[in-house]
């Protein structure tokens, strides 16, 4: 009994410490984005980091099991979801904006990936909705959080697959963002999921894990983002004539036609 309460006290202590560390990391990242002028390239990301910092400062004095914490947590959580969507969309707008040739294709891909990810995420909510918990409002918030974070994780996966398939030149910072978002949203999704299915008993250890992941992702951003990482190496080619393009397509056609003939004989 004594051992159990001691470990609970240790967890609360560790959680408090991690909250402090993550607040410091948010502050360091905001300063870095500001000082190195990276905020101009990623304005939503900068405002997201700033908002997280302010939220962490406001929430810091309150223990997580107090009602006042809940009153502050829920509305700010809703704002955070909006930021999550904005920072991810901002990233892919930046990646695709300089390539006029695939403007429509890019829109189709983003729209298709968004629709598919939301659909898959909603279809996977059954276990989250099936458990009955003492605080329905909190449960609803966590179920919505799970839906949003898993949608974003799937969306990131689909868009990354598109970027692998299409040789869009990427800066190092964009790759860093994509990797860190993937780790973060996947961890967040799993945290929400376990919380929804297992109930509030697991909140303390889950919070520790989530805080640890948050600190690691913040450290990754602090260390890996840089003004030099904004540079993109691309090959510059002369504008190809329409005949060139038609010949390319005709050649692909003729290979296909010959193969199809071989297949039908």
Partner 1 sequence: MSTWIAAGAVIALLIAVAFVFLFRKLASPGRRADLNPDRPSDFSLEKYRPMERLFSQQDYEFLSSQPGFSPKLVRRLRAERRRIFRRYLQCLSRDFDRLYAATKLLLLHAPEDRPDLALTLLRQRMTFRYALATVHLRLALQTLGLGTVDVRGLVGAVEALRDQLRALSAQPAALPVYER
Q: Which residues bind partner 1 (CB under 8 A)?
A: 41, 94, 99-105, 108, 124, 127, 131, 153-154, 156-157, 160-161, 163-164, 166-171, 175, 178-179, 182, 186, 189-190, 193-194, 197-198, 230-240, 244-245, 247-265
How crowded is residue 94: how many other Cβ atoms within 10 Å of its Cβ? 17
CB-based contact 96:103 (threshold 8 Å): yes
Q: At closest approach, how far in Å is the CB of 47 from partner 1? A: 19
Which H or E run contains 212? Answer: helix 203-224
Residue placing its CB nearer to partner 1 in the complex, 13 or 98: 98
Smallest separation (angstroms) from partner 1 to the CB of 192? 10
Residue 176 CA, distance from chain mean position = 12
Residue 30's φ and ψ, nearest 5 degrees, are: -60, -45
**Minimum distance from CB of 204 to partner 1 (Å)?**
17
The nearest distance, CB 260 to partner 1, in angstroms, is 5
d(CA 247, CA 252) in angstroms, rounded, equals 9
Straight-line distance from the first to the last Cα atom of the chain, in angstroms, rounded to the nearest whole number? 79
Q: What minimum distance in Å lies between the beta carbon of 221 and partner 1? A: 16
> Alpha-carbon distance 49 to 31, whole Å?
10
Minimum distance from residue 130 beta carbon to partner 1 (Å): 8
- Closer residue to partner 1 (CB): 35 or 100: 100
Nearer of residues 26 and 155 to partner 1, judged by Cβ: 155
Closer CB to partner 1, residue 17 or residue 197?
Answer: 197
Q: State the helix-helix crossing angle for 172-198 and 67-96, rounded to 10 degrees.
A: 150
Nearer to partner 1, 17 or 248 (CB): 248
User: In terms of CB distance, is 3 or 238 closer to partner 1?
Assistant: 238
d(CA 142, CA 144): 5
């Amino acid at each position: 009994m004594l051992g159990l309460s001691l470990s609970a006290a240790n967890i609360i202590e560790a959680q408090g410490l991690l909250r402090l560390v993550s607040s410091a990391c948010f502050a360091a990242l905001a300063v870095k984005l500001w000082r190195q002028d990276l905020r101009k390239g990623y304005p939503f990301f900068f405002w997201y980091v700033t908002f997280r910092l302010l939220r962490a400062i406001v929430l810091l004095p309150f223990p997580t099991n107090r009602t006042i914490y809940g009153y502050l947590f829920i509305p700010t959580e809703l704002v955070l979801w909006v930021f999550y969507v904005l920072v991810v969309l901002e990233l892919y707008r930046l990646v695709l904006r300089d390539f006029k040739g695939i403007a429509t294709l890019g829109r189709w891909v983003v729209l298709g990936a968004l629709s598919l990810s939301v659909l898959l995420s909603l279809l996977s909510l059954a276990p989250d909705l099936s458990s009955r918990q003492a605080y329905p409002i909190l449960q609803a918030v966590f179920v919505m959080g799970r839906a949003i974070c898993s949608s974003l994780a799937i969306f990131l996966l689909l868009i990354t697959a598109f970027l692998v398939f299409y040789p869009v030149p990427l800066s190092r910072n964009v790759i860093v963002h994509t990797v860190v978002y993937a780790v973060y949203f996947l961890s967040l999704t799993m945290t929400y999921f376990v919380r929804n299915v297992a109930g509030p008993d697991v909140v303390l250890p889950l919070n520790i894990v989530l805080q640890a992941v948050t600190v690691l992702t913040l450290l990754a951003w602090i260390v890996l983002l840089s003004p030099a990482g904004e540079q993109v190496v691309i090959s510059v080619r002369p504008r190809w004539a329409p005949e060139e393009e038609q010949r390319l397509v005709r050649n692909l056609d003729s290979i296909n036609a010959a193969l199809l003939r071989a297949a039908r004989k």
